[in-house]
Structure 1
Amino acid sequence: MKQIILILFLIISLTSFSQENYNSETYNVTLGDIETNTFKKDSTANALVIYEQGNSYVDKQKYDLRTEIKHKIKILNKEGFDNANVTIYLYKSKDRKQKVEDIIATTYNKVNGKVTKSNLTVKNIFREEYNENYTLVKFTLPNIKEGSVITYSYKLISPFMFKYKGWDFQDEIPKLYSEYKTSIPANWLYHIKLVGGKKLTINDYEIKKGCLQMFNGASADCGNSIFAMKDIPAFIEEDYMTTKSNYLARIEYELETFRDMDGTIKHYTKTWKDVDKEFRTDKEIGKQLKKSIEIETLLSSDIINETDLFKKAQAIYKYVQNTYTWNDRYRIFKDVSIKNLLKNKSGNVSSINILLHNLLKESNINAKPILVSTRNNGFPTKIFPVISDFNYLIVQATINEKSYLLDATDSYLNFGDIPFRCLNQYGRLLDFKNGSEWINLKPSKPSNIYYKADLQIDENNIISGVVNSRRTGYHAINRKKKYHKNENEFLEKLENRYPYLEISGFEVASNAINSLDFRESYNIEYNYDSAGNNMYLNPFFVTFFKENPFKLQERTYPIDFGYKDTYFYSFKLTLNDNYTIIETPQDLNVSLPNESGRLLFSSKKIGNTLNIMLKINFKKAIYDAEYYPYLKEFMNKIVNIQTNSVILLRKNN
């Protein structure tokens, strides 16, 4: 018996070992790669990069940039088949273009105990002219099955040394090992930026003497680097985040200086001082910012003669906001024209907000433009100017030593508000006199939701009452847009959302589209569940979160709500003499770490009245990834309270 147990233990041990026997050290496919069909670290993974490598260097004869790329991927199930579809993007300009050579792709399967290989043929490689800047080369690995291992490699040839090849360590599937080798001649000086916050497993650097010989006999040393990461989790997008390009672990290159073999130097990366100077003389944005406006032809005499600068700024803002329509285009560095805006009454972001800027300045109000990168566009680089990072422009007005952020493209915004799309942490304030600077982009006012329900059970045992709600900040803006877009549809959705409620007498108190808040009130009749003499009520016919938005096992990027907010729900039920309160939900008081959030839930019986209160407070706009497990549990408790809270009433005999 002991021998049998020992044999079984060895079999189980060997089986467990073989299940994770991937060869992540080389590109070569091993039997372990083929026979292993699980990935314990991420049971949700549909495919897995076992090994990948990139190697970039300058060719010694043609002096172009060459990158040799290799991928080895395990297909774990059918949902992972898409990883066998490969697209290579080739950049092109008017007179130069990237090329790809030496595409080799193979699929490995184990059939009837034997390993089979299926090779990609040249006729199954396709080219597609995608747009004026890119050509696509596409292919699909042949004979894909669950459990297949695929390998593919190719050489990318680029004449664009200013655009040194970057490397993505992280993707939508997990990776066991990702390595990038670079060899950069010393006469090319790049800014190297590691994005995503994950640490390198390998970060080696050495200088190789005389690695590149030029036609005139000159030579250059090279800086050779090896960057690598191991055990990289899949990047899965989830609610409450900015664009994933902010967080994907990768390495990027920005050319700073090129020194030619004849000694001439060309600077590509400039300082902000240089950029400020260029903006002052720019034919598009710079010219428009300096454009003189005859305010008498645009503004009413009441606005022009207003002596209170704050009231005057508000009036100018409303004029631009209500007179000119945004055409949904950003185009901050191109097609910027105040002249066309005045003529057509419609224009892009820059045209509208530069008009606002110029009108404020002409009215002796301190105004400056701010370059912004929207939430979907990614964070702008801070360590050196990369103007292409920006895609939006807003205005800062400073009145009586207080600054206001302004955007006149949205008629629902109040003075001092900017659209949610602009809440991307920071922007660049342009000051052509004192020099530009980074500023924080924060909401001007709190964003809250308040609900108050006051119900009673009448002599006929009908539960009815009044619900009042109030929203402020971005919650108000979102609600106003839904309501004013189609009032009938808004009310219909409200009624359909709560099928066990009869809603009547719906009213909106703050009806203006740019009102500071949004207030609703309506009457309800509550259809309750009963079983014999018992009545069961869920007091939360209004739910702030229907389900937990946080479902990942692990989240490696911040939770970005955009703004701090508070949710408050008050429920009051007054009973008649026919019913007695038997059971109420349990109280709860939960805090997030460092008092960065709080959940309060309480129920109190006072005579024949029951009062229930729920308050949720997120005290931070952005939570670091370390908060994720706490926020996940925090949300679980919120959802549980709203869906499972029950009031038990018993009928008096």
Structure 2
Amino acid sequence: MKKYLGILIITLLSIQINAQDLEYGEVEAIDFTLEAKYVKEQPDAVVILKKEHIDFSISQQSGLTQTRTIHERIKINNEAGLAYATKQVPLYVNDGSKAEKFKNLEAATYNLIDGEVKRKKLRKSGVFEEDTSDQLRVISFTMPDAKTGSVIEYTYEIESPYAVIDDIILQYAVPILNIDVRMVWLDRFKYQMHYNPRAKYIPKIDFNVGKTEYTKSSSERSNDYISNTSFSSSTYELSTRIIEFKDFNIPALKPEPMAGNMNNYRSEIIIELISSTQSRGGFNEYSSTWEVVSSNILGSKNFGEQLNSSGFFEDDLEALIKDLKTNKEKTEAILNFVKRKVKWDGYYGKYAKNGVKDAFEEGSGNVGDINLLLVAMLNNAGIDASPVLVSTKDNGIPFFPTQDGFNYVIAHVQDGDNTYLLDATEEHTALNVLPLRVMNWQGRLIAEEGKSKWIPLFPSKESKEITLISGVFNADNEVDVTVQKRLTKYLALNLRKKYSDSKLTAMQSSLNSGDDSMEISNIETQNMDIDDAPLLVSFDGTVTSAAENIGGKLFVTPLLHEANEENPFKLEKRLHPLDLSYPVSTKTIVNLKIPDGFVVETMPESVKFVYNDGLGTYTYTVDEANGFISTVADFDLNIYLIEPENYESFREFFISMVEKDAEKIVLRKIGKKN
């Protein structure tokens, strides 16, 4: 009976905590005992309350005002959880004339000392402001006296003159015990609400209608014998739409290795402004369809007008392509010219910041400046080029018609049946070799007259590495090797980006394939600065761990330092896809001279492993001929994304590779048998 009574008390207590209206400042001793449910171990922190309310008002003086009220209460469980004691709030400031404002901050840290809740308020001196760009200001504060076991709480308002509503995040990396979201939209603004289709947690929303009042004042002046001014006011009702959502025990979004940007899987409410009706009958349409989105962006002076610029580069362009015959040659030449001419200033943007003419003349610009210039020059050269809107990996994936969902632009070229994607912001990009930050599912190609379509951003062809190794045993039973590598596309890009400006000796850690005991010398490269050519690397080395002498026999790793020694995929199951960035193909050939006085006793058997009906293969062969052992390992993976339902079979496929690479060639001395 006592057992059941205890369960009943705990259940009633839980209901009481969930149902109470958690007001700011009313932290009690029970808050320090709250824990996440349905977890194997307690997380770094627990969000006791996440409250976000959005309201709109209209006045004659200030026009439209959006007020976003935030209230959060968080219990810190360990040192890692202290990251939640620092808060950063971004504000859109544009040119300062219509800036968002940070208002009414209240914040405090609570600690339970000898059974009593002690509070320490955040002072104004602990709040900092930084303009990170000409359009973005960040407010930051760190909670005072926060430590393991503390409860922190803050509330503030963001006052915005814009009708655009930022996404509402419903899921953190730690659990949320109580969530309360409320929005009141004015009917004159039409919004479309979406949920992240990749998220595991989907909210259940309540919709209602309501009214709000708007008071309009007016004055009238008479000029009879005496000048008098009379004032009057009228009150109008504006229709509203009320959106509400409350829930309990929102699960944490747990990070997984090699999953890409976890925000792509985060539960959130995405609100897109579709249209607005002005008080005097005007109508504006923003993002109802992709055609509307494309037309609006193309109509911007910082986008469409930039594509029609030409006069300032025509002489350079004519000299650049006058002796070139094919469109591919011209495309490569123009890409390399823009890469040299205009350096990226580090800022993203689908719109030009300085304008392509100023960027060209000053030699610096944002992504929009550079890649819109690239499109303009390509078109001027008679090449069929179009801009492609992109959302970078750290910006999420735009699943629905949106202008704000894109933060980047690249170039697309159609040359007969051949298609090229280009980005001139980095030194070592090439045709269809984009920066990894850009390779985020698909982009939206903007054509003439606002037409648009999706195009894939990920490469269809594999990045390849061919490694040829010749090895000879030395007197210490180590293997002296001569290595030649040939790398293409992204495998070449990675090395070029990392080592093009450094000494060749800095490459050693990348060339030894994780074998830190390997000694490397005589490194040489070819085509390091020719981005559209294969990168060739050669070096000499000594593999000290390739063979082990046991009882007079040599146990040799056939692939030497190129063997896969460890399976990097530790998780048995995954909730999110495994993102490998691009398809890859590697071929490793090892020709190892059998040392004098030894013969082969046993060799690994040749095998072929297949993943998912041939999407991945690993072929391993070992042969002996003319005093040499030749080992060839071919690995091909034709996809870059492993879905959770396929992960277990992919992991087993890779485990089989590692186990095969670990098998040994056994050499015994001539005349000596078991």
Q: CA deviation at 1:447?
A: 0.4
Q: CA deviation at 1:471?
A: 1.3
Number of the residue aligned with 1:521: 538
Q: What are the residue-to-residue correspondences of 1:459-478 with 2, within 5 Å?
A: 463-478=479-494
Number of the residue aligned with 1:107: 110
**Structure 1 SS opposite 2:387:** strand
Q: Cα–Cα, structure 1 residues 164 and 312, in superposed 2: closer, same or farther, change >3 Å?
A: closer
Task: State whether structure 2 residue 539 is matched by structure 1 residue 538.
Answer: no
Task: Give, in whole Å, the separation in 1 of the partners of 2:308 and 2:249.
Answer: 53
Q: CA deviation at 1:580?
A: 4.3
Task: Give, in whole Å, the separation in 2 of the partners of 1:594 and 1:32.
Answer: 56
Task: Give, in whole Å, the separation in 1 of the partners of 2:572 and 2:215.
Answer: 53
Number of the residue aligned with 1:195: 196
Q: CA deviation at 1:192?
A: 1.4
Segments of 5+ residues of structure 2 without an aligned counterpart are: 217-233
Task: Give, in whole Å, the separation in 1 of the partners of 2:55 and 2:306.
Answer: 43
Number of the residue aligned with 1:121: 121
Task: For 2:428, give the aligned amino acid.
Answer: Y
Task: State whether structure 2 residue 28 is matched by structure 1 residue 45.
Answer: no
Number of the residue aligned with 1:562: 581
Q: CA deviation at 1:620?
A: 1.5
Q: Cα–Cα, structure 1 residues 458 and 552, in superposed 2: closer, same or farther, change >3 Å?
A: closer
Q: What are the residue-to-residue correspondences of 1:180-579 with 2, within 5 Å?
A: 180-195=181-196, 197-200=198-201, 202-210=203-211, 216-228=234-246, 231-237=249-255, 239-259=257-277, 265-269=283-287, 272-274=290-292, 276-277=294-295, 282-293=300-311, 297-299=315-317, 303-304=321-322, 306-321=324-339, 325-330=343-348, 332-344=350-362, 347-379=365-397, 381-386=398-403, 388-433=404-449, 435-443=451-459, 445-457=461-473, 463-490=479-506, 492-493=508-509, 498-508=515-525, 510=527, 513-527=530-544, 528-543=547-562, 549-550=568-569, 555-576=574-595, 578-579=597-598
Point out the more displaced range, 405-414 or 582-591: 582-591
Q: Cα–Cα, structure 1 residues 397 and 605, in superposed 2: closer, same or farther, change >3 Å?
A: same
Task: Give, in whole Å, the separation in 1 of the partners of 2:110 and 2:476.
Answer: 74
Q: Cα–Cα, structure 1 residues 318 and 573, in superposed 2: closer, same or farther, change >3 Å?
A: same
Q: Is the 8 A contact 2:338 2:424 kept in 1?
A: yes
* Superposed CA offset, 1:412-438 (max 9, x none): 334443333322222232222472333
**Structure 2 SS opposite 1:258:** strand
**Structure 2 SS opposite 1:385:** coil
Q: Cα–Cα, structure 1 residues 177 and 450, in superposed 2: closer, same or farther, change >3 Å?
A: farther
Q: CA deviation at 1:475?
A: 0.3
Task: For 1:224, give the aligned amino acid.
Answer: I
Point out the more displaced range, 389-398 or 122-131: 122-131
Task: State whether structure 2 residue 666 is matched by structure 1 residue 624.
Answer: no
Q: CA deviation at 1:168?
A: 1.4
Point out the more displaced range, 615-624 or 212-221: 212-221
**Structure 1 SS opposite 2:394:** coil
Task: Give, in whole Å, the separation in 2 of the partners of 1:109 and 1:219.
Answer: 49
Number of the residue aligned with 1:3: none
Point out the more displaced range, 625-634 or 171-180: 625-634
Compute the TM-score of the two structures, normalised by the length of structure 1: 0.80
Q: Cα–Cα, structure 1 residues 44 and 595, in superposed 2: closer, same or farther, change >3 Å?
A: farther
Number of the residue aligned with 2:226: none
Q: Cα–Cα, structure 1 residues 155 and 619, in superposed 2: closer, same or farther, change >3 Å?
A: same
**Structure 1 SS opposite 2:493:** helix
Q: CA deviation at 1:96?
A: 5.8
Task: Give, in whole Å, the separation in 1 of the partners of 2:620 and 2:555.
Answer: 19
Task: Give, in whole Å, the separation in 2 of the partners of 1:330 and 1:477.
Answer: 21
* Superposed CA offset, 1:162-201 (max 9, x none): 1436421111223344342333343332121223622556
Q: Is the 8 A contact 1:257 1:266 kept in 2?
A: yes
**Structure 1 SS opposite 2:51:** strand
Q: Is the 8 A contact 2:213 2:237 kept in 1?
A: yes
Task: Give, in whole Å, the separation in 1 of the partners of 2:57 and 2:343.
Answer: 53
Q: Cα–Cα, structure 1 residues 397 and 198, in superposed 2: closer, same or farther, change >3 Å?
A: closer
Number of the residue aligned with 1:73: 74
Q: Cα–Cα, structure 1 residues 625 and 336, in superposed 2: closer, same or farther, change >3 Å?
A: farther
Task: Give, in whole Å, the separation in 1 of the partners of 2:423 and 2:105.
Answer: 51
Q: Is the 8 A contact 1:584 1:648 kept in 2?
A: yes
Q: Is the 8 A contact 2:126 2:142 kept in 1?
A: yes
Q: Is the 8 A contact 1:426 1:441 kept in 2?
A: yes
> CA RMSD of the aligned region, Å?
4.4
Q: CA deviation at 1:47?
A: 1.6
Task: For 2:39, give the aligned amino acid.
Answer: K
**Structure 2 SS opposite 1:298:** helix
Q: CA deviation at 1:142?
A: 5.0
Taking only the aligned residue pairs, the percentage that are identical comes to: 22
Task: Give, in whole Å, the separation in 2 of the partners of 1:85 and 1:460.
Answer: 57
Task: For 2:582, give the aligned amino acid.
Answer: Y
Number of the residue aligned with 2:229: none
* Superposed CA offset, 1:288-310 (max 9, x none): 32123487732566932555444
Q: CA deviation at 1:443?
A: 2.5
Q: Cα–Cα, structure 1 residues 257 and 138, in superposed 2: closer, same or farther, change >3 Å?
A: same
Q: Is the 8 A contact 2:461 2:583 kept in 1?
A: no
